[in-house]
Amino acid sequence: MNAFTKLIGTATLGFVAATSVANAQDMKMLTAWGGNHSGTANMAYGYIDLVQELSGGSLSITPSGPEVVPAGQQIQPLTAGVFDLIYTHGLYHTGTTGIGAAIDAVDGDIEKRRTSGIWDWIDNHYQETQNLKVVSIPTANTGFRFFLKEPMDAGTKLDGMKIRALPSYNQIVASLGATAVVIPFGELYSSLEKGVVDGIVWPSVGAVGFKFHEVAPYLAEPAFGSVSYLIMMNLDKWNALDTNTQAVMLEAGHKLEQDMVGFFDKLLVEENAAMVAGGAQFTSIGYTLEQANKYFADEAMNVAVSQSGEVGEAFRDFVASRGM
């Protein structure tokens, strides 16, 4: 199987496989990235395939990417009901809540997230504050890494450099002496190419599709954290579905989470090899994995608190109480 393309496999059909969906329906999904992003190709499109299979073909989902609505502006049309579903990351809507971004700081064990009550906590939060129903939190435990134009010097580190980073990465960027700057996703390649920034922090898996290694050929180790994506549905539209259709969509979401366990580890090996073959090299940020993870997790939770106040504190404390 070529892991750069959409994950295709036979779903393990649970109870809902035999459940009939009342009427054929076609839903519309917004995706924060296009199909050249590994997450979109395997998670968003994988979910679409699972829903279609588990519903016996009665449910279909048509995706539209950031060319239709920019990634950072997709929550509003979803909550307004213009679209039914979204595949995104919490960092793309920290202006409305910081909880989604903080999921990256939670232990990546998907089953423990469910049995501990953390999955339900997140779902309830989005229902109550965003009019959205969480159907899946597919996670890549391959984390994030720095993509740099030059190898990192052990002495000067990233002093004086500009690194494109979203809020959860600010602490680790600053600890290396760099300044975090915000640049729209669509301008990342050109900003690296022109030297506007000296590097970016980006998920370890997915960069190859955007060819970032061509203009930032130094892949910094270790990668850190986990990348927890969100698939959510407009709550009003969710509540209008019959219980069988809801069961199908939730089963597909859980199955997708299970399918992604280990899959992104294999995909990382393939993408690293492809980037190295294209001239990329490895460098080091000078931290152990434990150190890098702590910088990242602390800041990810700080985002929840700074953006969501007492609710963010409640989420942080709840996660800590569950040992996650």
| Residue 320, in any domain of the structure | no
Res 4 pLDDT > 80: no
What are 180-196's pLDDT values in tens digits? 999 988 899 999 999 99
Predicted local distance difference test score (pLDDT) of residue 22: 57
Do 247 and 200 fall within a single domain? no
Q: Does 196 reside within a domain?
A: yes
Task: Specify whether 48 is located in the same domain as 129.
Answer: yes
Assigned domain for 57 exists: yes
CATH of the domain at 116: 3.40.190.170
**Residue 5: which pLDDT band, with cuts at 50, 70 and 90?**
very low
DSSP H or E segment with residue 36: none
Whether residue 126 is found in the same domain as residue 167:
no
Whether residue 205 contacts residue 140, with contact meaning beta carbons closer than 8 Å, is answered with yes
Domain that holds residue 173: 144-225+274-299
Same domain? For 165 and 135 the reply is no
Return phi, psi of residue 219, to 5°: -95, 110
pLDDT tens, residue by residue, 236-279: 999 999 999 999 999 999 999 999 988 999 999 999 999 999 99
250 and 204 within one domain: no
pLDDT, tens digit, for every residue of 61-117? Answer: 999 999 999 999 999 999 999 999 999 999 999 999 999 999 999 999 999 999 999
The pLDDT tens digits for 309-324 are 999 999 999 999 999 9
162 and 50 both lie in a single domain? no
Same domain? For 61 and 170 the reply is no
Tokens (6 digits) for 14:
């649970």
Residue 211 inside a domain? The answer is: yes
Report the candidate in 67, 29, 20, 66 with the shortest Cα–Cα distance to residue 48: 29
Residue pLDDT, tens place only, 17-71: 444 555 789 999 999 999 989 899 999 999 999 999 999 999 999 999 999 999 9
> Do residue 109 and residue 123 come from a single domain?
yes
Q: Which amino acid is at 315?
A: F
Category of 262 on φ-ψ map: left (φ > 0), alpha (ψ -120 to 50) or beta: left
Q: Are residues 150 and 239 in the same domain?
A: no
Q: Are residues 89 and 218 in the same domain?
A: no
CA 228 – CA 178 distance, rounded (Å): 25
Q: Give residue 166's pLDDT band: very low, low, confident or very high (50, 70, 90).
A: confident
Q: What is the DSSP letter of 300?
A: H
With 80 as the cut, is the pLDDT of residue 2 above it?
no
Give the number of domains in the chain.
2
Instruction: Report yes or no on 318 lying in a domain.
Output: no
What does each C-alpha distance from 263 to 3, 176, 181, 220, 287 come to in angstroms?
8, 31, 31, 21, 26
Q: Is there a single domain that holds both residue 51 and residue 134?
A: yes
Measured distance CA(153)–CA(158) in Å, rounded? 8
Are residue 44 and residue 177 in the same domain, yes or no?
A: no
Is the residue at 308 inside a domain? no
